[in-house]
C-alpha cells in the first residue's frame, strides 16, 4: 500500500523485539514438498493445500516448471533445488548455471510471480553414503550459481546455499562443545561457510532425532523428543534435554571453531515418519511434532543460542511411495499428509496446542472403489509366493515390514495387501489383478483394521511412473520371508 505512514521509531523498536521474541521466524514453519510418488497430486491442489493450512514457506528438491509455476501469485516463500546429479555440470560450466538461472529463476521473477528465497545447490551432497562423489563439485557449483544469480540481478534477494545432512559435523563425546566438521570435508566446509557468510546466506542443515533413535539401539527414547522428561546431558554447565538442541549446538560449536559462531542457520528438514518401523507411528510422530511446535512458539532457542529465531522446513508434506528405501523402509512415510493429501493426525502448526486435523487436500480425484485381493476360495497359497514377490518389486509393500501398519496381518491378508497395492499403482488395470488366477477384484473396502488398503488417485502425470517402477527388490525379499 502506497500511503503507509512512517512508523515511529519507538514502534519500530517494539516490533523488532516482538519479532525476535517469537521462536519461529516470521511466516511460521515451512514444509518440504517432494514429488517422488507414483501418483503425485496435481501441483495446483498442493498449493491450495498449503494455503488452506496457512503454510507460507515451501522447499522443493528441484525446479520442475510445472510445480514451481503453480506457486505463482501465492506469495509462498520458496526454496528451489538443484539435484546432486547436476552438480558436476554446474561446477564445470558457468554457462550451465547461467542457463539454469535463466530458465528456472528469471522466468519466475515477474510481478506476481514466485517468491524464491533460496537455491539449494545439491541435497545432502556430503552424505558418507555417496563416497565423496560430490565433495569436489558442490562448492564450485554454488559459486557458479551465485555468480549467475548476481549477473541476472537476483543475487540480493535469492541466496545460494546447500542443504546438508547433519553428519557433516560430529562430536566424539556426544557433547556439543566437542563438535567439529568431519575431517574429510573440513576444508571444503570452511570455504563454503566463508562463502555463505560473505553472501549473507544461511547454513542449511537437516536434523533428524528419529534417525538418532533408529540408528542406535541404546539411544534413550525420551531424548529424541522435546519436553525434558528424560535424561539431561551436561556440557560445561549447559544442560541438554533433547537431541535436537544438542545436535543444533554441535553445529554452532563446529561453526564457532572455524570462526563463524553467528552464521544464520536454516533447518532444511525436520520431522518424524509414521510407518514401516517400530519407532515410526502416528503416536510418536504426534509427540515429536507437538514438542517441536511448542518449542518453536516458546521463543526459547538452544543453550548456545537462547534467543534463536528458528527457520524450519518440515519433512515432509506428503508420503512419497517411490523414494529409495536405502535409508530404511520408513523413508516413504514422512508425510504429515498421506499420499492423497489427507492429514494423518491432529496438530497445531502455531504451537499453541490447539490440535486439530489439518485441512485435507481438495479436489482430489480417486480411481474407482475397487480393490484387488487374494481369491477368497483359494486354498493352496503356495503358488502366490512368486506373485507376491513380483507385486512387491513393482509397488510399495513397506507397510508390511516389521513395525509397519500392516505387519500384523495374517498370511492371506499380507498377500491381499501386496496384490492390491500393485493393482492400485498400475492404475487398476484389470491385467494387474490376475497373479496366475490367484487374485480377484472386489468392490467391498478391503481395509483390515489399521492397515489401509488404499484406492490410488488419478495421477497428475506419467513422468514419475518410471521412477516408481525402478524400485526395490529389497522390500520384497525381506517381506517374502514373512510369508
Ligand atoms: C530447469 O529445471 C528443470 C527441472 O529441475 C531441468 O529439467 C532443466 O534442465 C533446467 N533448465 C536448465 C537450462 O538447466
Ligand atoms: C560407495 O562405496 C560402497 C563400498 O565400496 C559401495 O557399495 C557403494 O555402492 C558406493 N556408493 C556410491 C554412491 O558410489
Ligand atoms: C577431490 O579432490 C581431491 C583433492 O584434489 C582429490 O584427492 C580427490 O580424489 C577428489 N575426489 C573426487 C571424488 O574426485
Ligand atoms: C508406537 O511406537 C512405540 C514405540 O515402538 C510403541 O510403544 C507404541 O505402542 C506405538 N504406538 C502405536 C499406536 O502403534
Ligand atoms: C476403507 O476403510 C477405511 C477404514 O475404515 C477408510 O479409512 C477408507 O477411507 C475406506 N476407503 C474407501 C475408499 O472408502
Determine which residue's CA is closest to atom 14 belonging to ligand 1: 100
Of 268, 299, 375, nearest in space to 32 by CA: 268
Residue 288: exposed, middle, or buried by beta-carbon count in 10 A (0-12, 13-18, 19+)?
A: buried
Residues with CB under 6 A from ligand 1: 62-64, 99-100, 103-104
Under 8 Å between Cβ of 172 and 234? no
The SS3 assignment for 307 reads coil
| Residue 107 per-residue DSSP state | G
Atom of ligand 5 nearest to the CA of 455: 13
Q: Which helix (H) or strand (E) holds 268?
A: strand 265-270
Encode pLDDT of 227-284 as tens digits: 877 778 899 999 999 999 999 999 999 999 999 999 999 999 999 999 999 999 999 9
Does 136 contact ligand 3 (Cβ within 6 A)? yes
Does 133 contact ligand 5 (Cβ within 6 A)? no
Determine which residue's CA is closest to atom 13 belonging to ligand 3: 133
Q: Examine the residue annotation and report whether 124 is marked as an active-site residue of this protein.
A: yes
Of 318, 370, 324, nearest in space to 339 by CA: 318
* Residue 445 CA, ligand 5 centroid: distance in Å: 6
In angstroms, what CA-CA distances link 96 with 134, 148, 177, 185?
A: 17, 9, 41, 25
* Residue 204 CA, ligand 4 centroid: distance in Å: 31
Cell of 51: 494455503
Under 8 Å between Cβ of 400 and 409? yes
Q: Identify the active-site residue in 77, 124, 320, 387.
A: 124
* Residue 104 CA, ligand 1 centroid: distance in Å: 6
Q: Which fold has domain 19-333?
A: TIM Barrel (3.20.20)
Determine which residue's CA is closest to atom 11 belonging to ligand 3: 136
The SS3 assignment for 428 reads coil
Angle at alpha carbon of residue 53, lines to 21 and 106, rounded to 5°: 85
What distance in Å separates the CA atoms of residue 338 and residue 274, rounded to the nearest whole number?
Answer: 10
Cell of 97: 548455471
Under 8 Å between Cβ of 395 and 387? no
Under 8 Å between Cβ of 181 and 254? yes
Does 369 contact ligand 5 (Cβ within 6 A)? yes
The SS3 assignment for 293 reads helix
* Residue 442 CA, ligand 5 centroid: distance in Å: 14
* Residue 65 CA, ligand 1 centroid: distance in Å: 8
Q: Which helix (H) or strand (E) holds 254?
A: helix 243-257
Give the mutation target among 135, 138, 183, 191 for probing the ligand 3 site: most ligand atoms within 8 A of CB.
Answer: 135
Domain ranges of the chain: 19-333, 371-460
In angstroms, what CA-CA distances link 176 with 166, 214, 461, 482?
A: 13, 20, 46, 42
Does 187 contact ligand 3 (Cβ within 6 A)? no
Atom of ligand 4 nearest to the CA of 282: 13
Task: For residue 130, give the ligand nearest its CA.
Answer: 2
DSSP string, 422-466: HHHHTTT-GGGG-GGGTEEEESS---BTTB--PPPBPPS-STTHH
Q: Identify the active-site residue in 269, 308, 311, 331.
A: 269
* Residue 135 CA, ligand 2 centroid: distance in Å: 14
Cell of 283: 503416536
Q: What is the pLDDT of residue 19?
A: 39
DSSP string, 326-380: TT-GGGG---SB-TTS-B-S-B-TTSSS--BPPPPPSSPPB--S-EEEE-TT---
| CA 162 from centre of chain | 15
> What is the full per-residue pLDDT of the chain (483 aa) written as tens digits?
333 333 333 333 333 333 344 467 777 899 999 999 999 999 999 999 999 999 999 999 999 999 999 999 999 999 999 999 999 999 999 999 999 999 999 999 999 999 999 999 999 999 999 999 999 999 999 999 999 999 999 999 999 999 999 999 999 998 999 999 999 999 999 999 999 999 999 999 999 999 999 999 899 999 999 987 777 889 999 999 999 999 999 999 999 999 999 999 999 999 999 999 999 999 999 999 999 999 999 999 999 999 999 999 999 999 999 999 999 999 999 999 999 999 999 999 999 999 999 999 999 999 999 999 999 999 999 999 999 999 999 999 999 999 999 999 999 999 999 999 999 999 999 999 999 999 999 999 999 999 999 999 998 665 444 444 444 434 444 444 354
Atom of ligand 1 nearest to the CA of 64: 4
Determine which residue's CA is closest to atom 7 belonging to ligand 3: 136
Encode pLDDT of 337-383 as tens digits: 999 999 999 999 999 999 999 999 999 999 999 999 999 999 999 99
Answering whether pTM is above 0.75, one says yes
Does 216 contact ligand 2 (Cβ within 6 A)? no
Determine which residue's CA is closest to atom 10 belonging to ligand 5: 445
Q: Which helix (H) or strand (E) holds 386?
A: helix 384-393
Task: For residue 136, give the ligand nearest its CA.
Answer: 3
* Residue 452 CA, ligand 5 centroid: distance in Å: 7
* Residue 227 CA, ligand 4 centroid: distance in Å: 18
What distance in Å separates the CA atoms of residue 401 and residue 144, rounded to the nearest whole number?
Answer: 44
Amino acid at each position: 500500500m502506497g500511503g503507509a505512514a512512517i512508523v515511529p521509531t519507538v514502534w519500530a523498536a517494539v516490533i523488532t523485539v516482538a519479532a525476535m521474541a517469537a521462536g519461529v521466524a516470521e511466516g511460521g514453519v515451512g514444509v518440504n514438498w517432494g514429488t517422488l510418488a507414483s501418483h503425485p497430486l496435481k501441483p495446483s491442489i498442493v498449493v491450495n493445500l498449503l494455503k488452506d493450512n496457512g503454510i507460507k514457506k515451501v522447499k522443493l528438491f528441484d525446479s520442475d516448471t510445472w510445480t514451481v509455476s503453480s506457486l505463482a501469485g501465492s506469495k509462498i516463500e520458496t526454496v528451489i533445488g538443484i539435484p546432486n546429479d547436476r552438480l558436476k555440470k554446474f561446477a564445470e560450466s558457468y554457462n550451465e548455471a547461467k542457463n539454469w538461472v535463466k530458465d528456472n529463476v528469471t522466468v519466475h521473477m515477474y510481478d506476481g510471480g514466485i517468491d524464491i528465497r533460496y537455491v539449494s545447490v545439491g541435497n545432502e551432497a556430503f552424505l558418507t553414503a555417496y563416497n565423496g562423489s560430490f565433495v569436489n563439485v558442490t562448492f564450485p557449483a554454488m559459486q557458479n550459481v551465485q555468480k549467475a544469480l548476481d549477473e541476472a540481478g537476483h543475487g540480493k534477494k535469492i541466496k545460494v546455499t546447500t542443504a546438508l545432512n547433519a553428519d557433516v559435523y560430529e562430536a566424539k563425546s556426544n557433547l556439543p562443545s566437542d563438535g567439529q566438521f568431519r575431517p574429510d570435508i573440513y576444508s571444503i566446509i570452511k570455504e563454503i561457510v566463508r562463502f555463505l557468510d560473505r553472501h549473507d546466506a544461511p547454513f542449511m542443515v537437516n536434523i533428524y532425532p528419529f534417525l538418532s533413535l533408529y540408528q542406535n539401539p541404546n539411544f534413550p527414547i525420551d531424548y529424541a523428543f522435546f519436553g525434558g522428561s528424560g535424561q539431561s546431558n551436561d556440557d560445561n554447565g549447559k544442560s541438554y534435554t533433547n537431541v535436537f538442541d544438542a545436535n543444533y549446538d554441535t553445529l554452532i560449536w563446529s561453526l564457532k571453531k572455524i570462526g563463524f559462531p553467528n552464521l544464520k542457520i536454516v533447518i532444511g528438514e525436520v520431522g518424524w515418519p509414521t510407518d514401516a518401523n517400530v519407532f515410526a507411528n502416528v503416536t510418536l510422530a504426534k509427540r515429536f511434532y507437538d514438542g517441536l511446535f511448542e518449542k518453536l512458539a516458546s521463543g526459547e532457542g538452544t543453550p548456545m543460542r537462547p534467543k534463536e529465531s528458528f527457520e524450519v522446513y518440515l519433512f515432509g508434506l506428503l508420503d512419497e511411495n517411490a523414494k529409495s528405501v536405502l535409508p530404511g523402509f520408513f523413508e516413504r512415510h514422512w508425510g504429515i499428509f498421506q499420499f492423497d493429501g489427507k492429514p494423518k493426525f491432529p496438530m497445531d502448526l502455531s504451537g499453541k496446542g490447539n490440535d486439530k486435523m489439518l485441512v485435507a487436500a481438495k479436489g482430489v480425484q480417486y480411481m474407482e472403489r475397487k480393490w484387488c485381493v487374494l481369491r477368497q476360495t483359494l486354498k493352496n497359497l503356495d503358488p502366490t509366493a512368486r506373485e507376491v514377490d513380483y507385486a512387491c518389486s513393482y509397488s510399495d509393500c513397506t507397510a508390511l515390514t516389521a513395525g509397519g501398519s500392516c505387519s500384523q496381518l495374517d498370511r492371506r491378508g499380507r498377500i491381499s495387501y501386496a496384490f492390491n497395492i500393485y493393482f492400485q499403482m498400475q492404475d487398476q488395470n484389470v491385467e494387474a489383478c490376475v497373479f496366475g488366477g490367484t487374485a480377484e477384484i472386489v468392490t467391498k473396502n478391503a481395509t483390515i483394521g489399521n492397515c489401509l488398503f488404499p484406492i490410488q488417485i488419478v495421477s497428475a502425470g506419467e513422468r514419475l511412473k518410471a521412477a516408481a517402477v525402478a524400485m526395490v527388490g529389497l522390500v520384497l525379499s525381506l517381506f517374502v520371508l514373512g510369508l
